[in-house]
Structure 1
Amino acid sequence: MSSDMSYTTEEIAKLLKISKLTVYDLIKKGELASYRVGKQMRIDATDLEAYKQRARTAMNPERPAAVGEPVRSSLSALAAGSRPIVITGHDIGLDILAKHMEKQIPGIRPLRSFVGSLDSLISMYRGEADIVSTHLLDGTTGEYNLPYIRTLLVGSPYLVVNLLSRNAGLYVQSGNPFGLTQWSDLSRPGLRLANREKGSGARVLLDEQLRLHGIKSDQLAGYDVEHNNHLAVASKVASGEADVGVGIEKAAALVGQVEFIPLIRERYDLVMLNKADNEYWIRPLLHILKSDAFKRELQAISGYDLSRTGEILLET
Structure 2
Amino acid sequence: MSNDMSYTTEEIAKLLKISKLTVYDLIKKGELPSYRVGKQMRVDAADLEAYKQRTRTVPVLVQSIQTHSPAPAQPSVSDTANRPIVITGHDISLDILAKHMEKAIPSIRPLRSFVGSLDSLISMYRGEADIVSTHLLDGDTGEYNLPYIRRLLVGSSYVVVNLLSRHAGLYVQPGNPFDLKQWSDLSRPGLRFVNREKGSGARVLLDEQIRLHGIRPEQLAGYDNIQTNHLGVATKVASGDADVGVGIEKAASIVGQVDFIPLIQERYDLVLLKTTWSQTWIPTLLQILQSDTFKKELQSIPGFDLSRTGEILFET
Query: Same fold by TM-score, threshold 0.5 exceeded?
Result: yes
Q: 1:52 to 1:193 in 2, by over 3 A?
A: same
Runs (4+) of structure 1 moved beyond 6 Å?
A: none
After TM superposition, give the deviation of residue 295 of structure 1 in Å: 0.6
Q: 1:260 to 1:2 in 2, by over 3 A?
A: same
Matches within 5 A, 1:304-315: 304-315=304-315
After TM superposition, give the deviation of residue 34 of structure 1 in Å: 4.1
Deviation string, structure 1 residues 178-214 (Cα, Å, up to 9, x no partner): 0000001001111100100010000000000000000
8 Å contact kept, 1:87–1:110: yes
Structure 1 partner of 2:195: 195
Q: Give the counterpart letter for 2:112 in structure 1.
A: R
Residue aligned with 1:165, SS: strand
8 Å contact kept, 2:87–2:131: yes
8 Å contact kept, 1:33–1:84: no
Q: 1:92 to 1:117 in 2, by over 3 A?
A: same
After TM superposition, give the deviation of residue 41 of structure 1 in Å: 3.9
Distance of 1:20 and 1:150 partners within structure 2: 24
Query: Would you say 1:270 and 2:263 are equivalent positions?
Result: no
Deviation string, structure 1 residues 45-98 (Cα, Å, up to 9, x no partner): 465467668x66xxxxxx94269x697685349638511111111110000000
Q: 1:18 to 1:230 in 2, by over 3 A?
A: closer
After TM superposition, give the deviation of residue 154 of structure 1 in Å: 0.5
Residue aligned with 2:236, SS: helix
After TM superposition, give the deviation of residue 148 of structure 1 in Å: 0.4
8 Å contact kept, 1:162–1:310: yes
Structure 2 partner of 1:60: none
> Larger deviation: 71-80 or 155-164?
71-80
Distance of 1:264 and 1:308 partners within structure 2: 17
8 Å contact kept, 1:252–1:259: yes
Q: Give the counterpart letter for 2:262 in structure 1.
A: P
Distance of 2:46 and 2:78 partners within structure 1: 15
8 Å contact kept, 1:33–1:47: yes
Distance of 1:221 and 1:300 partners within structure 2: 37
Matches within 5 A, 1:1-316: 5-16=5-16, 18-29=18-29, 31-34=31-34, 37=37, 40-45=40-45, 48=48, 64-65=57-58, 74-76=74-76, 79=79, 81-316=81-316
8 Å contact kept, 1:174–1:258: yes
After TM superposition, give the deviation of residue 286 of structure 1 in Å: 0.6
Deviation string, structure 1 residues 96-141 (Cα, Å, up to 9, x no partner): 0000011110111111111100011111111111110000000000
Distance of 2:261 and 2:158 partners within structure 1: 34
Identical aligned residues as a percent: 78
Q: 1:47 to 1:127 in 2, by over 3 A?
A: farther
Number of residue equivalences: 308
8 Å contact kept, 1:27–1:33: yes
After TM superposition, give the deviation of residue 5 of structure 1 in Å: 3.6
8 Å contact kept, 2:163–2:289: yes
Q: 1:207 to 1:100 in 2, by over 3 A?
A: same
Q: Give the counterpart letter for 2:294 in structure 1.
A: F
Distance of 2:212 and 2:50 partners within structure 1: 52
Q: 1:2 to 1:309 in 2, by over 3 A?
A: farther
8 Å contact kept, 2:166–2:305: yes
Residue aligned with 2:281, SS: helix
Q: 1:37 to 1:127 in 2, by over 3 A?
A: farther
Q: Give the counterpart letter for 2:222 in structure 1.
A: G
Structure 1 partner of 2:69: none
Q: Give the counterpart letter for 1:231 in structure 2.
A: L
Distance of 1:217 and 1:266 partners within structure 2: 22
Residue aligned with 2:223, SS: coil
Distance of 1:50 and 1:300 partners within structure 2: 45
After TM superposition, give the deviation of residue 215 of structure 1 in Å: 0.5
Residue aligned with 1:247, SS: strand
> If the length of structure 1 is used for normalisation, what is the TM-score?
0.89
After TM superposition, give the deviation of residue 275 of structure 1 in Å: 1.6
Deviation string, structure 1 residues 241-281 (Cα, Å, up to 9, x no partner): 10100000000000001000000000000001112121112
Q: Give the counterpart letter for 1:158 in structure 2.
A: Y
Distance of 1:65 and 1:93 partners within structure 2: 43
